[in-house]
Amino acid sequence: MFRINSKILAVFLAGTGFLLLFSARLLAQEGKIGYIDSMKLRTTYKEFADVQVKFDQEVAKWQLQADSLKKGVDSLQADFDKQSLLLSEDKKKEKEQIIEQKKNEYTTFVNQTFGPGGTMEKLNTDLTKPILDKINAALEKIALENNYIMIFDAVNGNVAWAKKGLDLTDMVLDALNKMQ
């Protein structure tokens, strides 16, 4: 019949044990569990809404620049395609080099602006970090004053705040390392 892989069984049992241990620790804690709606915070908190408008305006400017660069490349390519039969080999190479250079300028701009670690991502971080710091401070204040042990974000299911001592990561790592 079917044989159960011992490693899969061990990981399954460790996961089940983690859930039981986590549930038991939560029940043993005195306190409440709550949640927030981060999307509502983003749309309702005026400071967040103002920053979003500023961010969207900057992104729109960058998109216009990208569109302009792309139109320039497309225009050069269209002109080249129309004239290529009439051009000498040297002139063709010259125009192809210009087109390639403009394509590279466009690609570089798009990658540096919209790519990972780009200008857009940096601006987003710069604009939202102070607000997120305020939100996290408010979460912690509310949690401590109202005896919450954990607060979740209803939008994505992540833990927004947790009482110190509820993190079981090291215990699970120890258990997994002992299984090897």
Domain extent at residue 15? 1-29+163-180
SS3 state at 171:
helix
Within this chain, do residues 104 and 177 fall inside the same structural domain, yes or no? Answer: no
Within this chain, do residues 22 and 41 fall inside the same structural domain, yes or no? Answer: no
Question: Do residues 81 and 96 lie in contact, with contact meaning Cβ atoms separated by under 8 Å?
Answer: no
Q: Of the candidates 42, 11, 47, 45, which has an alpha carbon nearest to the alpha carbon of residue 156?
A: 42
Within this chain, do residues 60 and 105 fall inside the same structural domain, yes or no? Answer: yes
This prediction's pTM: 0.67
pLDDT of residue 13: 47
77-105 pLDDT tens trace: 999 999 989 989 999 999 999 999 999 99
Within this chain, do residues 107 and 24 fall inside the same structural domain, yes or no? Answer: no
Within this chain, do residues 171 and 141 fall inside the same structural domain, yes or no? Answer: no
pLDDT band at 4 (very low <50, low <70, confident <90, very high): very low
Q: What is the mean pLDDT of residues 95-124?
A: 97
- Looking at the structure of the chain, the number of domains it has is 2
Q: What is the mean pLDDT of residues 138-157?
A: 91
Within this chain, do residues 109 and 60 fall inside the same structural domain, yes or no? Answer: yes
Q: What is the mean pLDDT of residues 62-87?
A: 95
pLDDT of residue 26: 52
**Helix extents (H) in 146-179:** 169-179
131-146 pLDDT tens trace: 999 999 999 999 999 9
d(CA 113, CA 140): 35
Q: Of the candidates 107, 120, 177, 142, which has an alpha carbon nearest to the alpha carbon of residue 35?
A: 142
The tokens of 97 are what?
A: 């080099």
163 conformational bin, left if phi > 0, alpha if psi -120 to 50, beta if neither: beta
d(CA 120, CA 128): 12
Within this chain, do residues 170 and 103 fall inside the same structural domain, yes or no? Answer: no
Cβ burial, residue 138 (10 Å; 0-12/13-18/19+)? middle
Within this chain, do residues 66 and 118 fall inside the same structural domain, yes or no? Answer: yes
DSSP 180: -
Within this chain, do residues 66 and 93 fall inside the same structural domain, yes or no? Answer: yes
Q: What is the mean pLDDT of residues 135-161?
A: 91
Within this chain, do residues 179 and 129 fall inside the same structural domain, yes or no? Answer: no
pLDDT of residue 73: 96
Strands of the sheet containing 159-162, edge to edge, are 32-36, 148-153, 159-162
pLDDT band at 30 (very low <50, low <70, confident <90, very high): confident
Within this chain, do residues 46 and 131 fall inside the same structural domain, yes or no? Answer: yes
Q: What is the mean pLDDT of residues 51-57?
A: 95
pLDDT of residue 16: 53
Within this chain, do residues 35 and 88 fall inside the same structural domain, yes or no? Answer: yes
